[in-house]
């Protein structure tokens, strides 16, 4: 069961490395801030799980750590994800 049926979320594994507007969470450094644009290249179950945890279009993100796992806050929730999952989250980086 999907929580959102938005075009901001896709399961296209052949998607571009970096979306036309935004950067992959996996490409950001600790301290980077931004807003979630979409999730790309993730299996449907992963999209549902991330969405349930609050990782959805428009959510505020701050990267806390990039190794050994990507740790970030998404609104008021602190999450840790594997690098493969971090590559699926596209962020609009704030200056």
The more confidently predicted of residues 11 and 53 is: 53
Q: Give the pTM.
A: 0.76
Q: Is 57 exposed, middle or buried (0-12, 13-18, 19+ CB in 10 A)?
A: middle
**2: which 2 tokens?**
């999907």
Domain ranges of the chain: 23-93
Q: Residue 92 above 60 pLDDT?
A: yes
Q: Residue 20 above 60 pLDDT?
A: no
The more confidently predicted of residues 65 and 20 is: 65
23-93: CATH topology is SH3 type barrels. (2.30.30)
What proportion of the chain, given as a percentage, has pLDDT over 70?
79
Tens digits of per-residue pLDDT, 21-45?
Answer: 799 999 999 999 999 999 998 888 8
User: φ and ψ at 79, to 5 degrees?
Assistant: -125, 150
Whole-angstrom Cα distance, residue 18 to residue 35? 15
**64: which 2 tokens?**
């806390």
**69: which 2 tokens?**
């796992």
Q: Residue 3 above 80 pLDDT?
A: no
Other Cβ atoms closer than 10 A to 63: 21
């Amino acid at each position: 069961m999907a929580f959102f049926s938005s075009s901001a979320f896709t399961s296209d594994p052949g998607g571009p490395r970096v979306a036309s507007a935004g950067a992959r969470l996996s490409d950001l450094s600790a301290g980077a801030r931004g807003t979630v644009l979409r999730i790309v290249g993730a299996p449907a179950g992963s999209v549902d799980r991330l969405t349930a945890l609050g990782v959805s279009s428009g959510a505020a993100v701050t990267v806390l750590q990039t190794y050994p796992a990507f740790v970030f806050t998404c609104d008021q929730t602190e999450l840790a994800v594997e690098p493969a999952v971090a590559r699926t989250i596209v962020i609009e980086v704030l200056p």
